[in-house]
Amino acid sequence: MAASKTKCIGILTSGGDCPGLNAAIRGVVKAAIGVYGIKVVGFLDGFRGLVENRTINLDDRAVSGILTQGGTILGTSRDKPNKMPMGGKKMDMTNVAMENLEKHNIDCLVCLGGGGTQKNAYHLHNAGGVEVLTLPKTIDNDVYGTDITFGFDTAMGIATEAIDRLHTTATSHHRIIVCEIMGHNSGWLALGAGIAGGADVILIPEIPYDLKAVAKHLEKRRISGKRFSIIAVAEGAISLEEAKALAKAEADGKKKKNSSGEVVVEKNADGHAYHLVQEPKASQIARRIQQLTGVEARVTSLGHVQRGGSPSTRDRLICSLLGTATADSLAQGNYNNMIAIRGDHSEPVPLKDVAGKKKLVPKDHPWLQTAELVGTCMGV
């Protein structure tokens, strides 16, 4: 058994669930225990379980058979250690979290999660000197510093299959179908699935859309004899008008988020409030497109279906790679990094360079160029 500078670790999953979490847990545990003799303590339900000191012992038997399972055997939550809902209030429970880590003689806390988890882990390190390692998880693929996040490939496959199936109904009934895909701030999922599924219009948060331009594109399709259309839209996509309103509100210091993390804008002097989620985005677009084109439009929202089910082959490989690389980093005593994917390899990236940043779709990304070359309308 190889010598290890780390004797005991804690591990938790935080944020939204996604395919691959169990595969990543398995990779960490099997390599940490089997190769390096590191003890592994699992904290239940994310940072809340850490604060409430709810744990399970993770050994080879505990992770047997979980490679193909969706969700997370540890449970998850979106609670933050420094803003933990407790008795109707939000309290800073950082010190309690640190005390619980000390009780279990934890040398390093391994956190699996998205952008929020990277920030929360970095907070624990800065606030109490806790050694941490993180793995990039999210179906949105928007974690900074890694080529890809685990969960993204599976979710993109699910969304692509949905668009494939929608083509059948759209063609049979000569309709416009608007398919809403997850992605509050980034359009990776809608863009990838839209291209792979042959969507005729793709709307993403990074490119504010003009529905008149979309309607014009759909009309050209109709005139050319194509009597159906599929619109793939990220849930966080915004119109040109909304983008201008947000820019003005941000400049005026009136931009904020509600309890669900949705961007809202406080009322202006005339009493009007710009709220980006008055109704589902796909519903807004379908209603307006139907008015502009005179063609019947229907809506499909994939919602949490994209998060569920067994991870894809690629996600299983990525998670196994990240998990075992994490164990290796622990054995070497290399902490306070995110283990990122770089091509076919893993690479530690300083957490300070990741926390608080998002990876959005750049305007010159090859996927956007591909969409343009096959005649996809991006809303402009």
Write the DSSP string, 54-113.
Answer: -EEEE-TTTTTT-TT--S-TT-----BTTBEEETTEEE--HHHHHHHHHHTT-SEEEEEE
- What pTM does this model have? 0.91
Angle at 205 between CA 204 and CA 209, to 5 degrees: 70
Task: With beta carbons less than 8 A apart as the criterion, state whether 233 and 179 touch.
Answer: yes
Residue 345's identity, in one-letter code, is H
User: What are the chain's domains?
Assistant: 8-150+311-353 (3.40.50.450), 154-238+276-306 (3.40.50.460)
**Which pair of tokens denotes residue 97?**
């979290």
Q: How far from 218 is each of 56, 172, 229, 327, 375, CA to CA, in Å?
A: 55, 17, 7, 52, 11
Question: Three-state DSSP class for 317?
Answer: helix
**How high is the pLDDT of residue 277?**
45
What pLDDT tens digit does each residue of the chain (380 aa) get? 778 999 999 999 999 999 999 999 999 999 999 999 999 999 999 999 999 999 999 999 999 999 999 999 999 999 999 999 998 899 999 999 999 999 999 999 999 999 999 999 999 999 989 999 999 999 999 999 999 999 999 999 999 999 999 998 888 888 899 999 999 999 999 999 999 999 999 999 999 999 999 999 999 999 999 888 999 999 999 999 999 998 888 887 766 554 344 455 444 444 444 444 457 889 999 999 999 999 999 999 998 999 999 999 999 999 999 999 999 999 999 999 999 999 999 999 999 999 999 999 999 999 999 999 999 999 99
Q: Which pLDDT belongs to residue 172?
A: 85
DSSP state of 236: T
Handedness of CA 369, 370, 373, 376 (dihedral sign): negative
**Cβ proximity of 289 and 231 under 8 Å:** yes
Cα 133 to Cα 12: distance, rounded to the nearest angstrom: 11
Q: How far is CA 170 from CA 167, 199, 375, in A?
A: 5, 11, 19
| Nearest Cα to Cα of residue 4 among 324, 325, 322, 327 | 327
Percentage of the chain exceeding pLDDT 70: 93
The tokens for 149 are 């996040």
Which residues does the annotation mark as catalytic? 140
